[in-house]
Structure 1
Amino acid sequence: MAMKFCPIDTKHLFLFRCGALVRPLDFIISSAAVGIHRNQADTLKLRVHEYGGGKVKGRRLIAAVSKYSNPATDVVEAGDSEFLSTTGWKDFASNVSGEWDGFGAEFSIEGNPVELPESVVPEAYREWEVKVFDWQTQCPTLASPETYSFFYKSIKLLPTVGCEADAATQYSVNERHIGGSNIIAYESSGSFVAVWINEDNGSLELEHCLVNPRNKESRVRIIQALQVNKERKLVLQNFRIFCEQWYGPFRNGDQLGGCSIRDSAFASTEALKSSQVIGSWQGSHATASFQNSQLNTSFHEVKGEGLVKIVRDEHDLILLPKQLWCSYKEREGEFFFEAGWLVDRGQAITSKCIFSSNAQLKEIAIARETSLAEMEEKA
């Protein structure tokens, strides 16, 4: 079918760029720049040319239109399954959104907890020579089920003594949005892996959010802070851990668990034993692959249930409290960053990021694994 060209009123137009909602429209559109044709489902497909830096780049954009007669005002939602999986996204948005409260702590690359600054520790603790490693935290999170948007606030509360926590004061608020160069790979359960890029200094953070498969109101977030050195190698600097419980629908941080919080400080508790995670494991891996053609969108659903066998040894394992671990490996020019949570004996949920030799993201995987030794014991 021949392409037809027509002018569009951009003030009322919402488009999807390879699965990510573009709003407000960040493209220059004119009758000469937009090509439109109709498919069998009455969905208009548009090819829009992006103007920037004196160059014109072609990008495929999708907009679902209820009536061909008025494309400027009848745009409703994305309608091309080639780029979108709305069911998976809606389930994810429902499971990830809400008020998540708990505790968080920073750890060195050796797995040792880092004490809080003395300036924020209550005098009573200093007098008793009590070391404080944990922040009480809030993480109000919101993903819209209707559009591809995701953000959260990471709130640290000043340490308090006893049940003064009910009147805790915010120490810091860090708000994050997916978009631009940031990327999220998500699973319908509410688990996700996000890549946060600081374009000012070239650093990045990998955030592994793992939801307990047996309790969707319990999750951990492991954030690995990385730096790209002069040789374009990724170097692990430190990491932070947040153990959180779901306390209700999203209220933008207005709700505070206080003394009713269902968790407790964990940074100085016993770390996971290596014998609990080393050995042979097997599990279903859902992946998102990042090829050049896919980098135009920030949102990716991990897909597939490929059965993978893993042999995990003590080398490069960082053992942590709350049955958690991390690992970092460089192998054959690629960089592997893993986070894992032993949710029960012989049962774990893991996530992994793979980068190329020049620090380009290649793949993200989320898996549910079972120890082969546990399977043989039950057989």
Structure 2
Amino acid sequence: MKIIGKIGKGKKEVEEKDVIKPILLKEVARKADIAEGERAVEDILRCIYRNQPISTKKIGQYVKLPLPIVAKVRTLLERAKILDREEKGAVLTEIGKEFVEKELKLKMKHDLTCPLCNGKGIVLDEMFEEILKKQKEYAKKRPIANTTIDQSYATPETAIYRAALMAQRGDLEGKRVLFVGDDDLTSIPTALTNLCEEVVVVDIDERLLKLIDDVSKKENLNIKTIKHDLRNPLPEKLKNKFDVIFTDPPYTLNGMKLFLSRGIEGLGDEGVAYLAFSHKPIDEWIEVQKTLSEMGFVIYELIPGFNLYEGSEIIGNTTFLARLIGKNLKPIIGDTEKIYTGEVKPTLRYYKCLKCGKIHEVGDKIKRVEDLICECGGQKFSMVKRKKIKN
């Protein structure tokens, strides 16, 4: 078997002995700069083998990797003649099929994810389907996401599935529930179940709190909202009062520590926490796990890809949802000055105006693409490149 193609600069002919698993996977992982290494490349190939043709977005959601990384890997594998590009997505070439079956030993050509629940483990009943109809309308009224504070809105369906999962696990009936931040409006379907003793939302964004207040009044839900900067301790009236907390914090270790610590102040010595968080490379995930253990939490359940987001291609539009059970809880607060992604990993992003083609830099003088307007009047852009800012 010969593979005629290239990985990186220049064409070269690669003999069969060269295109063995360790060399190809390591080379692609290195050139794509994947923290997860060759295992991630193998996961991408397995995903395509089982689901081809499949789009880059779907691959990202499946393997829990950022779309730019998946796109880079896909391009490198196309150059190596392992993949081909069809209208409906990526497919394996004959060479690629031979490679994954001989070198990776892949045999299972279909996916076993439940078609009813799509891997979430629950199916909505009539009550939650009705709540979903309302949630879709209320979600349309959300203000423009403020990406400088890591706002990224979950889909209405995600908010419903969150509430349904909490109900299924017995964490709503007769419980006092605290939302430590709620830009996804998950408090609304939670309250609409009429199962909770109390629902309270703490958030810094007055726009979202007003929307929740308006919906609460309209639906007679009695959701309590409190504007609060979580860099400061919870108000005394909220401490040691709740049975369950829910948080979708900034996707940094310090952000997770801070939001969960404020939740612990609300729980007191013990309780249940729901944590929505981004899929991390193994080294970062180990730190997350250590932190949770030090706080007194055990990861009782973790559902990969549970949360889907609107327009968050950089995280593959998906994060996991973990159900944590805690005892002898203690807050662990890190650096509260750097809790958002842009503060911890400053990045310049370059966007192409879809009207005139001009390239604009975002991340320095202009902080958000939402604030970007081209000189030609264009307001629609496509990200073409990212560059990390060295400290």
Q: Aligning the two structures, in what range does the TM-score lie when normalised by the shorter sequence?
A: under 0.3
Bigger strand share: 1
TM-score, with structure 1 as normaliser: 0.23
More helix by share: 2
